[in-house]
């Protein structure tokens, strides 16, 4: 396995003739990093995430993940948290755990139950009884209970109250291995930027920059949130 888990070369993606979602994206993302994927609505974050997860295929350019083209292997090493709920309301927590156990050989059921206990989520609870924030915490518990090489988290704290965000960050930090890559897309930069080791700013489908977060703070004297507001000022 290469330290460079994700290699993207000249990647472009359009919807129809007029909507350019990604434009000539070049990125090298290494193992052992927590990386923030930042940009306003329409910047291409969701499209890039879908391409990495094999959900969009008609793009131009090259993409390799752990040295392999997107396919069955890459899907097996990526643990993906989408920004919407994907379990049926009739299910209980235990039903969803069973699905993860059947689908993913790297899923640790014991670890999942420990996290859920910490979050006060009963295995017998029906998903339809959960609030939006509870559903997000529940899905994160499952995603972070896999021993994956890559975690892609789309808005992991978007629906939770400020008091729960520290718990979410703690779960992320304590449940990925040091040689994994964690890619986090978020709008709530000030709440989560302290865990970023690198940041990618996407603007109009192109990479504005990809930098070490601490070096960027030292050079600019600004937080990532302040820098974001400056770069994307309307």
137 neighbors 161 (Cβ within 8 angstroms):
no
pLDDT score at 191: 86
**Among the listed residues 198, 202, 225, the one whose alpha carbon sits nearest the alpha carbon of residue 213:** 198
Domain range for 60 is 4-231
The mean per-residue pLDDT over the stretch 169-180 comes to: 88
pLDDT confidence tier of residue 234, bands split at 50, 70 and 90? low
* Rounded distance between C-alpha atoms, residue 200 and residue 216, angstroms: 11
Give the percent of the chain with pLDDT over 90.
70
Tokens for 158, please give them.
């978007």
Backbone angles phi, psi at 227, to 5 degrees: -65, -40
pLDDT score at 147: 95
Q: Which residues contact 131 (CB under 8 A, 6 or more apart)?
A: none
Judged by DSSP in three states, 123 sits in coil
* Rounded distance between C-alpha atoms, residue 37 and residue 40, angstroms: 10
66 neighbors 138 (Cβ within 8 angstroms):
no
Strand pairing partners for 191? Answer: none
pLDDT tens for 126-162 read 999 998 888 888 999 999 999 999 999 998 887 777 7
- Strand ranges (DSSP E) for 48-88? 60-65, 78-81
Give me the CATH number covering residue 86: 3.40.50.300
The mean per-residue pLDDT over the stretch 17-22 comes to: 86
171 neighbors 17 (Cβ within 8 angstroms):
no
**Among the listed residues 185, 192, 195, the one whose alpha carbon sits nearest the alpha carbon of residue 51:** 185
Residue 66 has pLDDT above 80, yes or no: yes
pLDDT confidence tier of residue 175, bands split at 50, 70 and 90? confident
- Indicate the number of domains in the chain: 1
Tokens 């995430």 locate to: 49
* Rounded distance between C-alpha atoms, residue 38 and residue 121, angstroms: 30
pLDDT score at 83: 83
pLDDT confidence tier of residue 231, bands split at 50, 70 and 90? confident
pLDDT tens for 76-88 read 999 999 988 888 8
The mean per-residue pLDDT over the stretch 105-115 comes to: 95
Residue 72 has pLDDT above 60, yes or no: yes
pLDDT score at 1: 43
Residue 25 has pLDDT above 80, yes or no: yes
157 neighbors 168 (Cβ within 8 angstroms):
yes
């Amino acid at each position: 396995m290469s330290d460079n888990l994700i290699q993207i070369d000249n990647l472009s993606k359009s919807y129809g003739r007029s909507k350019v979602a990604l434009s000539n994206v070049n990125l090298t993302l290494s193992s052992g990093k927590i990386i923030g994927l930042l940009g306003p609505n329409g910047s291409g974050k969701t499209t890039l995430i879908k391409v990495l997860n094999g959900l969009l295929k008609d793009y131009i350019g090259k993409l390799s993940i752990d040295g392999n083209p997107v396919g069955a292997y890459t899907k097996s090493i990526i643990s993906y948290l989408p920004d919407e709920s994907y379990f049926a309301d009739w299910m209980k927590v235990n039903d969803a755990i069973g699905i993860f156990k059947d689908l993913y050989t790297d899923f640790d059921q014991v670890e999942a139950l420990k996290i859920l206990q910490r979050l006060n989520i009963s295995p017998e609870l029906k998903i339809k009884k959960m609030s939006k924030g509870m559903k997000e915490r529940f899905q994160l518990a499952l995603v972070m209970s896999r021993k994956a090489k890559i975690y892609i988290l789309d808005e992991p704290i978007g629906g939770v109250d400020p008091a729960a965000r520290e718990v979410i960050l703690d779960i992320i930090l304590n449940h990925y291995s040091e040689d994994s890559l964690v890619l986090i897309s978020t709008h709530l930069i000030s709440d989560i930027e302290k865990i970023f080791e690198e940041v990618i700013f996407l603007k109009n489908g192109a990479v504005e920059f990809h930098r070490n977060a601490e070096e960027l703070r030292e050079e600019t004297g600004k937080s990532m949130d302040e820098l974001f507001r400056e770069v994307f000022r309307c």
